[in-house]
Amino acid sequence: MLQAGNRAVKALKLSLHEPRGTPRGGMRWFGCWVVSLVLSGGCTTAPREPRPARLTAATGEPLAAGLAAVEYDEANRFLAEAERRYPALGDYTLYFRARAAVRAGKPTDALQLAEHLLATNAESVWSGVARLLAGRLVRQKGDLAAARGWLEAARASLPERSLSGGHATLALAEVDHELGDDAAALELARDVRRRMPRRLLARRARRLAERIGASHPELIPWDTVDEAEMRLREGDLAGARAAATTALAGRSSPALAGRALWVRAQAERALGDRETAEATCLHLARQLPADPLAPKALLAAATWRWNADRDQAALELFGQVARRFPASPQAPEALYASGRIHQEAGRYRDAFAAYRGLGDRFPRAPLAAEARWRAGWVRYLAGDFTAAADWFGRVALGTAKGTRVAAEYWQARALARLGRAEKAHERLTHIAAHHATSYYAELAEERLGERTAACEPPAVVPRPSFPTELQGTHAERARVLAGLGFSRFARLEVDALRGTSGVPRRPLLSAYEAVDAPGAALGLAREMRPGSPGALRRYLYPLGYWDTVHETALARGVDPLLVVAVIRQESLFETDAVSPANAHGLMQLLPSTARELTAEAGAAPIPRSALHVPQTNIALGVALLRRLLDRYGGSRARTLAAYNAGEDAVGKWERRYAAREPDEFVELISFRETRDYVKAVTRNYRTYRQLYASSPCATSPGSPPNAPLDMTTTTSPGRAEPTK
């Protein structure tokens, strides 16, 4: 997204190291415990969370000191003191002592500690990884049968898609291979590859499968479509293409041939061989017209042409999709795309026909409501405001709420263009009053002149105490851990409480807040919202990591409420979020973006894992927002569009739509994801101001009765899919 030559950030004062008051070495050590848990013998993973700030090793707190200790005897002494001081955390001290023993080369002691943990704390959140640790230790001793038992128990007790669960499955596969049961080992390795294809574990599982195949080729038909699909998911593009090509050379059934061609086309496209990928898709659609993948492949080829600005060639293929496969899910998508191409070319009559045809022929299609709205939009663009106002009025009477509000707003704009100011004012007032949480209410208030100039966000958000209603072992551990500042560990305990039947959910919301887990509280509030309308707004729109956001944003002249609005849309306040485009952390930053920003600031490069540290991620994300706000003269819409799609894309749209007003510009953004993103973040920002600003930002009476749910997929800066 960020190109060399873009304006440098004037000053990027980043805290790219440990927070103040935190021992440097101790933070790295602690982060390794948090992130890798049982997965490695040494600390190879950088921290994803700061060391506890309230009581650290520097102040003599024994649990933190035990985690920070390098020498085994010192760690053991501190952890034994922690066990004496915090009886509720006995399982923690046992597990950490076991890990310290592993690092000190004392496997017998480590195994005894793990076994003691499981015998005395069966419900511990560490029980699964303790079994995994025991299995590995027993395997090292050469007792493969006992190791298999431990690893089977670990696999059964760990979440299937968790990293530790994947490690247990792969370790079990390796033991089965050593025991000579290669068929079982192969199936377990395939399970790892299916469940977590982009992890390093998947590569290890594939190497194990390849070793098995070298000695038992009859077990692994490398030329199968399944193998090609797995390699594609793993990112082994050349391997996927080769496997698909080999499968096609065999006597595959038509169904398998279609899958193989589809895999090969996707691999070719990702490898940069675009012409060949398009030809493969066209071949699939031509030779296997009855295959369900045929219309999908034809639509893909058309979309690739469209994204390459070969609009007329794309239009031809979109037309083929609609004509040849009228009953397919791709037919309405093709009609929609045809309408967009005609719209961009100024052929508004043809665009209207395509949009209206989609709505009439496919009234239940996902794009039908938007197509009906766009039929009015192209009349507006054509300057036929009378027809546009009439069409928008009809759409507003019979579609879903989101499209209905959009139609009402643009009916008002068309009426204003016709000089019917009183009627337009009436429509805008209705939107502001009755759709107070919507994106279009924001626009309506701007048109009505009802926005005040400034909002004052709260300076401090006190963290609630842990709710007394929650009782039991997990609650007590969470309470102690939260008091010590071990928020990640405390969240594990609240998660365990959440999985316990009969635990009331409202106190769990407060518990997640108390342990500094706003993303978890938000997720739980989403589940509860239908039964608690309006009462969960504070959890649906949290001021997560507010101390950092507030300080960092104000230092750069960015509204802190805009920052949390972006975080909510990007990551739902989950620090560990990673997108398919490889964007990381709260504000979903690409490693390349982070490298450029730190270089511009004259700071040392940071590891990718540092993007999961809230302070670092927020500092970089706010710097990027400041940069974009400066570039676009404070335009929030253009800033958000560039954050999502990149500055080059926004530059193209600015050149194309230079004469358009800001609200029109947003509707004309070519990428659907970016249009939706700008509207969603604006909606988030509006709701945050309504909920938290200490001075009013709008004259709409009262707070919104129900905060909107509006949970769309997270996005990544500069990596929006060019889906027009």
Model confidence at 620: pLDDT above 50:
yes
Band (pLDDT 50/70/90 cuts) for residue 222 is low
Question: What's residue 21's pLDDT?
Answer: 31
Model confidence at 714: pLDDT above 80:
no
Q: Which CATH number characterizes residue 171's domain?
A: 1.25.40.10
Model confidence at 48: pLDDT above 80:
no
Question: What's residue 663's pLDDT?
Answer: 97
Question: What's residue 569's pLDDT?
Answer: 98
| Residue 335 placed within a domain | no
Band (pLDDT 50/70/90 cuts) for residue 60 is low
Are 575 and 652 contained in the same domain?
yes
Band (pLDDT 50/70/90 cuts) for residue 52 is very low
Question: What's residue 509's pLDDT?
Answer: 96
Are 564 and 645 contained in the same domain?
yes
Are 202 and 60 contained in the same domain?
yes
| Residue 711 placed within a domain | no
Question: What's residue 581's pLDDT?
Answer: 87
Counted domains in the chain: 4
| Residue 679 placed within a domain | yes
For residue 94, what are the domain limits?
A: 24-213
| Residue 341 placed within a domain | no
Mean local confidence (pLDDT), 253-274:
95
| Residue 228 placed within a domain | yes
Question: What's residue 451's pLDDT?
Answer: 66
Q: What is the DSSP string of 546-558?
A: HHHHHHHHHHTT-
Percent of the chain past pLDDT 70, that is, above it, reads 85
| Residue 338 placed within a domain | no
The conformation of residue 593, written as its DSSP 8-state character, comes to: H
The residue among 196, 213, 230 that closes a domain is 213
Are 569 and 650 contained in the same domain?
yes
Percent of the chain past pLDDT 90, that is, above it, reads 76
Quick one: tokens of 668? 């004309």
Q: Which has the higher per-residue pLDDT, 13 or 574?
A: 574
Question: What's residue 199's pLDDT?
Answer: 87
Are 109 and 255 contained in the same domain?
no
Band (pLDDT 50/70/90 cuts) for residue 23 is very low
Model confidence at 104: pLDDT above 80:
yes
Model confidence at 49: pLDDT above 60:
no
Model confidence at 3: pLDDT above 80:
no
Question: What's residue 594's pLDDT?
Answer: 96
Band (pLDDT 50/70/90 cuts) for residue 327 is very high
Are 225 and 168 contained in the same domain?
no
Task: Evaluate the CA torsion angle 648, 6, 673, 48 in order and state its sign.
Answer: positive
Question: What's residue 691's pLDDT?
Answer: 92
The residue among 500, 516, 540 that closes a domain is 540
Model confidence at 530: pLDDT above 60:
yes
Are 207 and 138 contained in the same domain?
yes
Band (pLDDT 50/70/90 cuts) for residue 228 is very high
- Which contacts (CB < 8 Å, 24+ apart) does range 631-637 have? 631/6, 631/7, 635/662, 636/562, 636/682, 636/685, 637/662, 637/665, 637/666, 637/678, 637/682
Q: pLDDT by residue (tens digit) across 356-365?
A: 999 999 999 9
Mean local confidence (pLDDT), 310-337:
98
| Residue 437 placed within a domain | no
Catalytic residue set? 570
CA neighbor of 566 nearest in space, from 501, 642, 499, 466: 642
Radius of gyration of the chain, Cα coordinates, nearest whole angstrom: 28
Are 151 and 233 contained in the same domain?
no
| Residue 76 placed within a domain | yes
Band (pLDDT 50/70/90 cuts) for residue 38 is very low
The residue among 496, 524, 540 that closes a domain is 540
Quick one: tokens of 616? 């670092």
Are 120 and 151 contained in the same domain?
yes
Are 208 and 235 contained in the same domain?
no
Are 240 and 275 contained in the same domain?
yes
Q: Which CATH number characterizes residue 666's domain?
A: 1.10.530.10
Whether the Cβ atoms of residue 640 and residue 677 lie closer than 8 Å to each other: yes
Are 171 and 270 contained in the same domain?
no
